[in-house]
Amino acid sequence: MNQPPSRRRKKAIPAASNDSTLPNDLAEEDISPQENPALATIDVTAVEIPELTEQEQSDRLHLERRVERAFFEAGKALTELRDRRLYRSTHKTFEDYCRERFGFSRRQPYHLIEAAVIFDNLVEKCERNVHILPTNEWQIRPLSKLDPDIQPEAWEQAVESANGKVPSHRIVKDAVQRIMERTQVPNTYQLGEVCQILAKDNPELRGKGGCWGIVNHVGEFSCTVKTWDGVYTVGLQHLKSHNYLPAECEQMQVICDRINRVYSSGLEESVQKFLEMLGKLNRAYLTDLEEKVLSVIEKEYRSSDQK
């Protein structure tokens, strides 16, 4: 019986190849697993990274401290610009100067100024034990709710919660909240603080919902607040702090006193409505137009007094 001729597997030739002169032994060669690129072994030479020298370690620490202190230096510079009124040759107010020169919002320079004070406090009381310091103003802002003596403790707790890294705003805020709850102070409002009145479920505060007032007395469970048209005693459950900075609270105190001097029931209705609207502002400043209108009302009030 005749046996069929034996067949050998031929190596595949790319379709795009036009070379018809390949040797027969190459065309008929078996594919060996050792020739598969996917199975090739690549030797990688390990590169040893040298440790930092003492000088490099010192340079690194110095540069890290410069990064950390960037916002602190900004706050210190802004403090001097404000206190020495070095903006007076070009701008009427510090806020206008910061907005036009640096692109800051009205509150931003005050946040940086306050952050610089807190940073100084942390450097003085924490750096020996905690080498992690804030790197921006947002991380440090929650500490403003605490007394300076307690701020370092809150920061240390926040660093610990962040596993030895720079803590986020949320972690610092949580640490501050835990300390505030631990102290169990029922009334945390301070004299001069600006608060919003919440009138719901209290008929005695009807018409005062949304109005802001200046705290001028702190009781155990209530505060006495001065508003645009009088003084009211309000329970803590009906107050909400605007969380203004000290400089902003001072500005609102001035605005409150100005409105108080000119407000009376004998004013024209449109003027009364304007002053009442100012009494419900959710910002710590007057716009240029509001300032002009209030100045005209004050001028008319003074003129009528002189007659």
Distance from C-alpha of 51 to C-alpha of 49, rounded to nearest angstrom: 7
Terminal alpha carbon distance of the chain: 142
Query: Which of the four pLDDT bands, split at 50, 70 and 90, describes residue 27?
Result: very low
pLDDT in the model for residue 233: 85
Question: Does residue 40 belong to any structural domain of this protein?
Answer: no
For residues 150 and 168, membership in a common domain is answered with yes
Distance from C-alpha of 293 to C-alpha of 60, rounded to nearest angstrom: 56
pLDDT tens-digit series, residues 167-187? 999 999 999 888 877 765 568
For residues 87 and 179, membership in a common domain is answered with yes
pLDDT in the model for residue 161: 93
For residues 170 and 230, membership in a common domain is answered with no
pLDDT in the model for residue 6: 47
Q: Which of 127, 157, 183 is the last residue of a domain?
A: 183
For helices 151-161 and 108-126, angle between their N-to-C axes, nearest 10 degrees: 80
Q: What is the mean pLDDT of residues 108-136?
A: 83
Question: Does residue 305 belong to any structural domain of this protein?
Answer: yes
For residues 198 and 277, membership in a common domain is answered with yes
Q: 297: domain CATH number?
A: 2.30.30.30
Task: Show Cβ contacts of residue 275 under 8 Å, excluding neighbours closer than 6 positions.
Answer: 228, 259, 262, 263, 267, 297
Question: Does residue 2 belong to any structural domain of this protein?
Answer: no
For residues 301 and 196, membership in a common domain is answered with yes
Distance from C-alpha of 71 to C-alpha of 135, rounded to nearest angstrom: 7
pLDDT tens-digit series, residues 239-281? 999 999 999 999 999 999 999 888 875 678 889 889 999 999 9
Question: Does residue 52 belong to any structural domain of this protein?
Answer: no
Distance from C-alpha of 163 to C-alpha of 117, rounded to nearest angstrom: 25
Total domains in the fold of the chain = 2
pLDDT tens-digit series, residues 205-226? 778 889 999 999 888 778 899 9
For residues 162 and 253, membership in a common domain is answered with no
Residue 243, SS3?
A: coil
Quote the tokens at residue 219: 């009781």
Give the residue numbers spanning the domain of 79: 61-183
Q: What is the mean pLDDT of residues 132-137?
A: 88
Distance from C-alpha of 276 to C-alpha of 287, rounded to nearest angstrom: 16
For residues 153 and 200, membership in a common domain is answered with no
pLDDT in the model for residue 259: 92
Query: Which of the four pLDDT bands, split at 50, 70 and 90, describes residue 19?
Result: very low
pLDDT in the model for residue 169: 93
pLDDT in the model for residue 78: 93
Enter the pTM of the model. Answer: 0.48
Q: Which of 141, 157, 183 is the last residue of a domain?
A: 183
Query: Which of the four pLDDT bands, split at 50, 70 and 90, describes residue 18?
Result: very low
Whether the per-residue pLDDT at 22 is higher than 50: the answer is: no
pLDDT in the model for residue 154: 93
